Chain A
Amino acid sequence: MGLRIIKPGIADSIQDMGRYGFQQLGIPPGGVMDRIASTVANTLLGNKIDEPVLEMHFPAATILFETSMMIALTGADFGAEINGKEVLTNQAILVPAKSELRFTKHKKGSKVYLSVEEGFLTSQWLGSSSTSILLHKGGQEGRNLIKNDLLEFNNREDLEIDTLTHLPWRASMAEFYTDNLIAFMPGAEYPLLEKISQSGMVTNKFKISAHSNRMGYRLEGQALLLGNKKECLSSAVSFGTIQLLPNAQMIVLMADHQTTGGYPRIGHVASSSLPTLSQVSAGESIQFELITRDEAEVIYLQQQQNLQQLQNACNFRLQEYFKNE
């Protein structure tokens, strides 16, 4: 038993926190784009934070729950409805069997995450359930979801749900996102940028190009110039590395990035800003803010601490809620 895809969305895939330990072989880590949203999706249900979740873009899949289930939706707001009733993001939801989940409108954000209690039963590859489209491995047969896919999960036998219910607490997400303001730290080739490009990078806005995907976000805006053209032999890159392409525009490497690259690395998006960036849709603009490496560490650690507190609070409330049932 599980949930069935009645109508697939544009790119729905199973992802977890990524496949690490194999980048020396050129295998990309992959994983969810917005790690805050996926973590909270799991946290709301008392799951381990790295359980696989369903990542969806708009238009997203229409889904039938074949059994009763506790779920959560986080990240983007796509106007979710269950059996025609509006349901809220960032809140655990008890869903009766034979319910249908639809997403009606692209309201805000770019990726919605669906978690189920105790996680999906998916095929792992090299220790991760993340879907690698490139290698056709992980998740649901290594591909995006298609019509009639059945995603199975560990169904809790004692869970009987008659009415659609939101559990009476909500994760506050505002503190985790920064309204399209993206913090970055200088990369190895940042000092080679002309001064006017360095300042232009933070005073101008940059548009997310339509040619953006899980591998990278291409940016459109002021041309950035290197004072001293430099050819680099390839070396490792990371989720968030900002490369300067030969056309003087930037690309930010995202979750499915290649493991190595040779373009000048002018910056790296701070880990704390990657969730915000992941939720920016093509056509929208972002504003960069330069921070130091030390600042990036402090902000990220604070963010992780807040997530930990949220996790403690959710676990406590879930225990109380189901004790009183």
Chain B
Amino acid sequence: MGSGSSVNVNYKYSLQKSENAFKAAVLIQRWYRRYVARLEMRRRCTWRIFQSIEYACEQDQIKLHNFFSYLMDNFTPSSSKERDFISRMFISGESFKEAELEKYCDYESLEVPDSYTGPHLSFPLLPDHATALLEAFKQKQQLHARYVLNLLHETRKHLKQLPNISHVSTCYSEEVTVCGDLHGQLDDLFLIFYKNGLPSPSKSYVFNGDFVDRGKQSLEILIILFTFLLIYPKEVHLNRGNHEDHMVNLRYGFTKEVMQKYKLHGKKILKMIQNVFCWLPLATLIDQKVLVIHGGVSNTTDLDMLEKIQRNKFISVLRAKKRKELNRNVEIKEINGESQAEPDSAGNETMSSLPSQPRPAQAPSMANRVEFSRWVRQTVQEQIEWCRKLVDISDSEEEELTCSSLVSLTDLDGPCWTRQEEWKQILDILWSDPMPQEGCRENTVRGGGCYFGPDVTGKILEKYNLQFLIRSHECKQDGYEFCHNRKVLTIFSASNYYEIGSNRGAYVKLGPDLVPHFVQYQANKTAHTLTMTQRISRVEESAFRALREKLFAHTSALISAFKVYDKDNTGRITLSNWATAVESVLRLGLPWRMLRPQLVRSTADGMLEYKSWLDDLAMEQRSQEHIQSSLLEVIYRNRSNLETIFRIIDRDHSGLISFEEFHQTWKLFSSHMNIELTDDGINDLVRSIDFNKDGNIDFNEFLEAFRLVKQSQ
């Protein structure tokens, strides 16, 4: 009896225990799943931050356009020096005829010294050269300028024979591998070759553009791709991307990279590359069924026209059409400060009054893309009308200048365009993005190309009897993404694009059945050893740093917005009002309530102390206390535009501009921005940063000085 009851007790006890264990397990699982969900939310918010800032940056091009228009309108050069200075912004560099180019970019006279330990190239190239190059770049060696130029010459010769649309067939080399944006991230290319194998007669590759900019090894990637292109011309195919464009390179880092690596011959190399990019094919067709283009399509995309265009005429897609002779003279006169004298009714010559530049109305929030697009289009349209009046375009030819064409102004010495429609064809192919909604509208955020809907995709596929499109151009968290009911595939090969751990890269393989197989990767050893939490935290930190910089750049506007809700000037505000105010100023369409905990402390009673918060933000900045805070804000807000302007002025790509040029640029810019800045103010600015070098200013250093310091751990 005793034992019986003790068995019962034991049984009850163990039952209780397993019940407890069960309950405990449920609890732990419940808790853990909640933890993971919060991480997921943080990850998405971080992604949103990066994307919204990236797109906001692209809007800078619109601001730049406004600035140039402003110059045309308001600036009357008071001296020949000023005249020269201004005209430099409007006139491009010298353009070369074929023979001149060969002479300017001559490499044969370049001697390779005995002390050179890098790889040697001889032509025609052999597979051994490729492996030598790969090895050399892994060892961080640099290819001698002579070989670089030689390679570029040969590449150009080869590309010239290729049609605008390359054709690839899976029956020759069973599989085709398509790679997306690489953006100078050499480690990703190495990883792709490691996982997938080098190009060879049995291994075809298509590289879908954007080889350069942003990453630090754009030139090495070009060298490797061009080398393989020459060794295996039948198996390696390159498409042009929107970053294979020297106007874009000025802004996004490639120009800088080349000049830093090749101080003596960088300019030649850049000139040569310009003339190689324009010869890159525009698209690739796989088995006549899969169209591979960098950006996308539009409702006017015409493959027959694309095949016939003289693609090399479009060195940069970000340039306006050359005006006719008549208008050109008008422009030059304007630039040189000579007025357009018109006789009035009394026969006296009077100054023609320039139409005043229309001021754009307040922009709607970015969260509503449709509204935003509409606003931009309207603003741009106004600007265009005004520009037309200025230069008196009364042509027979219907010219439709778009925003991007006005970003960099008339190329007075440059090549002549053929038709406007041809330019649009290329622009659309290189710059468009898919959207979920039906239709086709101008991609005013990027400043070029379209947003195209599933109906546009459907029509193109039907018209040309295609199965699906492959494109790149947009960063995707998993390296690839389908849309339009699996008819459009985005493939992106630059992993960790925003920050270590931000996204995977991927490539896609197609066999004769044209069924896509994906391989994803992340090129960073650290990324692998980090836990999910650590990875997300890192990327998050980076995103928030960028966001804080943006907030700082709008300090004055934020204070005004907050004060509306804080009439008593207590320095405090509710969460709800804070979120509304911040969005009204920054217009990034971000989930501010979700982001709040990592941006600003809340007090015990749930209020936010905005005054001390903004002060803290300002303190993160390197000590530039002696510089007027509103000036600082302007510099932050316009840093990338300032950089672009500097680079345009810096014609020989030395990274230096004279103090006078800096002074002039600054004067112009500040008057455009309506900032009071005396000559003394500018001198103070220069002196305080202490980067004067022999009367020249290293503008890289200048720009570096205005980045928020990393918040210490």
Q: State yes or no: do A and B come from one complex.
A: no
